Homo-oligomer: A and B are copies of this chain.
Amino acid sequence: MKVVKTIDEVKQAVREWREEGLTIGAVPTMGYLHEGHLSLIDRSVKENDRTVVSVFVNPIQFGPSEDLESYPRDIERDSALCRGHGADIVFNPEPGEMYKDGFSTFVDMSVLTEELCGLSRPTHFRGVCTVVTKLFNIITPDRAYFGEKDAQQLAVIKHMVRDLNMNVTVVGCPIVREADGLAKSSRNTYLSGDERSAALILSRTLALGRKMIEAGERDVRKITDAMKKNIETEKLARIDYVKIVDIETMQQVETIDRPVLCAMAVYIGKTRLIDNFSFTEGE
C-alpha cells in the first residue's frame, strides 16, 4: 500500500490499473478513521480489485466559525488502518494540491441542500460536491462508498452523480455505533467524559421517534415535538434541528405518507453531532 500526496501519483496508478482491466473503489474520508470508515473500506475491498482511500480535511466544506483547525488528524494511524484493511492507496493531499492558486470552480446544488445541515451550514454541500467531483475525476472509481450517518450528504452525492451523468455507482453503508448506541464519528473525540454520556441523548431520542412511528403515529409535528422535548431533558444538549423529511427531496413533510428520513443535529457542549434513521412503510 502506498501513501501519496499528489494528484498525479493517483492518476498514474489509476491509469496502470485501468490498463490491466481492474475495477476501482473509492472511499472519500476526512481521516481520523473509525469503525464506520473501516466498514466502507472493507466493502470496497470486497467489491473492487483496487481501493483508494482519500484522507483530506476539506477546507471548503467548513464554515468560517467551524472546526477546520481543530478537526482531528492522524495520518500515521489512518495509514496503518488502511493497510490493515486492504486498501491499495491512501491519497493524503495538502490543501494547496487540491485547491491551486486561482481555484474558482464549484459544484453546487439547490433543493436537497436547503434543509437540515444545509440550512445550518450554508456553503457546506457546495464544498462537499466540489471535492467529491474532484476526487471522482482523480480516482475515476467504479464505485464510491459513503456512510449513512451523513444521510443528506449521501442523498446529495447520489443526486449530483445522476444530474451530472458521472460514471460511478454511489454505495451507502449502514451507520456503525458504539455498544451504547452513539453513532461513530471522528468528532466524538472532542467529547469530555460528561459530554460522552450526554451524547447518548441522540440515539435514545431517535429510538423514541422510531417507536412512535412504529406504533402508528404519522403526524410529524407530534413526533418531532416529543423528540425535541426529550433532548431538552439533557442539560449539555442544544438542538440545531430535529426534522422528518422526504428521503428523496430532503424537503420537510407534515405526514409520514412516503419514505422519510428522521434526522437531527445536536450540540453537546461545543461539539455538533448528527444522527438519523430512515423509515419506509412495510420495511
Which residues of A come within 8 Å of B, CB atoms? 7, 11, 100, 102-112, 129-130, 133-134, 137-138, 140, 159-160, 162-167, 249
Contacts known (A7-B165, A167-B140); A129 close to B105, Cβ less than 8 A: yes
Contacts known (A102-B249, A159-B104); A137 close to B166, Cβ less than 8 A: yes
Question: Which one, B11, B103, B110, contacts A163 given CB within 8 A?
Answer: B103
Instruction: State whether A165 touches B104 (Cβ < 8 A).
Output: no
Identify whether the interface residues of A are mostly helix, strand, loop, or mixed: mixed
Q: How far is the CA of A134 from the CA of B133 in the complex (A)?
A: 12
Instruction: State whether A137 touches B167 (Cβ < 8 A).
Output: yes
Stoichiometry, copies per complex? 2
Contacts known (A134-B165, A164-B134, A165-B134); A111 close to B106, Cβ less than 8 A: no
Question: Which one, B105, B112, B140, B163, contacts A164 given CB within 8 A?
Answer: B105
- Chain B residue with Cβ nearest A99: B163
Q: Which of A100, A107, A162 has the largest count of B CB atoms less than 10 A from its CB?
A: A107
Q: Which of A104, A110, A166 has the largest count of B CB atoms less than 10 A from its CB?
A: A104
Instruction: State whether B107 touches A106 (Cβ < 8 A).
Output: yes
User: Which residues of B sit under 8 angstroms from A112, Cβ to Cβ?
Assistant: 104
User: Which residues of B sit under 8 angstroms from A167, Cβ to Cβ?
Assistant: 11, 137, 140
User: Which residues of B sit under 8 angstroms from A109, Cβ to Cβ?
Assistant: 104-106
User: Which residues of B sit under 8 angstroms from A159, Cβ to Cβ?
Assistant: 102, 104-105
CB distance from A103 to the nearest CB of B (A): 5
Q: How far is the CA of A215 from the CA of B130 in the complex (A)?
A: 46
- Chain B residue with Cβ nearest A111: B104
Q: Which of A102, A103, A163 has the largest count of B CB atoms less than 10 A from its CB?
A: A163
Instruction: State whether B105 touches A108 (Cβ < 8 A).
Output: yes
16 residue pairs of the A-B complex, CB under 8 angstroms, read A100-B163, A102-B159, A104-B110, A104-B112, A104-B159, A105-B108, A105-B109, A107-B107, A107-B108, A130-B164, A133-B164, A134-B163, A137-B164, A137-B165, A137-B167, A138-B165
CB distance from A208 to the nearest CB of B (A): 32
User: Which residues of B sit under 8 angstroms from A102, Cβ to Cβ?
Assistant: 111, 159, 249
User: Which residues of B sit under 8 angstroms from A163, Cβ to Cβ?
Assistant: 100, 103-105, 134
User: Which residues of B sit under 8 angstroms from A105, Cβ to Cβ?
Assistant: 107-109, 129, 159-160, 163-164
CB distance from A49 to the nearest CB of B (A): 17
Q: How far is the CA of A220 from the CA of B165 in the complex (A)?
A: 43
User: Which residues of B sit under 8 angstroms from A165, Cβ to Cβ?
Assistant: 7, 134, 137-138
